[in-house]
Amino acid sequence: MTKLKITETSLRDGHQSLIATRLTTDEILPVLSEMDKAGYHAMEVWGGATFDTCLRYLNEDPWDRLRKVRAHVKNTKLQMLSRGQNILGYRNYPDDIVERFHKNAIFEGIDIVRVFDALNDIRNLKKTIETVKSEGAHCQCAISYTTSPVHTKEYYVKLIKDFENAGADSICIKDMSGILLPFDAYHLIKAIKKVTKLPLELHTHCTGGIGEMTVLTAVEAGIDIVDTAISPLSSGTSQPATESLCLALRGTERDPGLNLDSLNNIADYFKDVMKKYEENGTLNIKVLMTEPKALIYQIPGGMLSNLLVQMKSLNAVDKFQEVLDEVPRVRKDLGYPPLVTPMSQMVGAQAVFNVISGGRYNIIPTEIRNYVRGMYGRPAAPISDDIKELIIGNEEVITVRPADLLEDSYDRLREEIGYLAKSEQDVLSYALFPQVAKSFFEKRDSGDVPCCHTASSNRTL
Ligand code: CO
Q: What is the pLDDT of residues 31-84, one digit of tens each?
A: 999 999 999 999 999 999 999 999 999 999 999 999 999 999 999 999 999 999
pLDDT at 313: 92
Cα 339 to ligand 1 centre (Å)? 12
pLDDT at position 195 over 80: yes
Cα 175 to ligand 1 centre (Å)? 7
- pLDDT band at residue 425, thresholds of 50, 70 and 90? very high
pLDDT at 450: 63
Cα 394 to ligand 1 centre (Å)? 38
In order of their start, the domains of the chain are: 5-279 (3.20.20.70), 299-403 (1.10.472.90), 409-444+452-457 (no CATH)
Q: What is the mean predicted confidence (pLDDT) over 332-344? A: 92
Cα 415 to ligand 1 centre (Å)? 36
Nearest one of 124, 127, 135 to 338, comparing CA atoms: 124
The tens digit of pLDDT for each residue in 271-288 reads 999 999 999 999 989 899
pLDDT at position 452 over 90: no
Angstrom distance (rounded) from CA 17 to CA 14: 5
Angstrom distance (rounded) from CA 437 to CA 435: 6
Cα 395 to ligand 1 centre (Å)? 36
pLDDT at 262: 98
Residues with Cβ–ion distance below 5 A, ligand 1: 13, 176
Q: What is the mean predicted confidence (pLDDT) over 306-317? A: 90
Cα 53 to ligand 1 centre (Å)? 16
pLDDT at 342: 85
Cα 315 to ligand 1 centre (Å)? 31
Cα 227 to ligand 1 centre (Å)? 9
pLDDT at position 454 over 70: no
Cα 12 to ligand 1 centre (Å)? 9
Instruction: State the average pLDDT for the chain.
Output: 95
Cα 205 to ligand 1 centre (Å)? 6
DSSP state of 241: B
Cα 234 to ligand 1 centre (Å)? 11
- pLDDT band at residue 4, thresholds of 50, 70 and 90? very high
Cα 13 to ligand 1 centre (Å)? 6
Any idea which of 80-84, 168-172, 305-309 has the lowest mean pLDDT? Answer: 305-309
- pLDDT band at residue 298, thresholds of 50, 70 and 90? confident
Cα 385 to ligand 1 centre (Å)? 34
pLDDT at position 444 over 90: yes
Cα 442 to ligand 1 centre (Å)? 32
pLDDT at position 455 over 70: no
Q: What is the mean predicted confidence (pLDDT) over 388-397? A: 95
Cα 303 to ligand 1 centre (Å)? 13
Give percent of the chain above pLDDT 70: 97
Cα 340 to ligand 1 centre (Å)? 10
Cα 307 to ligand 1 centre (Å)? 19
- pLDDT band at residue 456, thresholds of 50, 70 and 90? very low
Cα 203 to ligand 1 centre (Å)? 7
The residue type found at 344 is: S
Cα 172 to ligand 1 centre (Å)? 11
Cα 141 to ligand 1 centre (Å)? 14
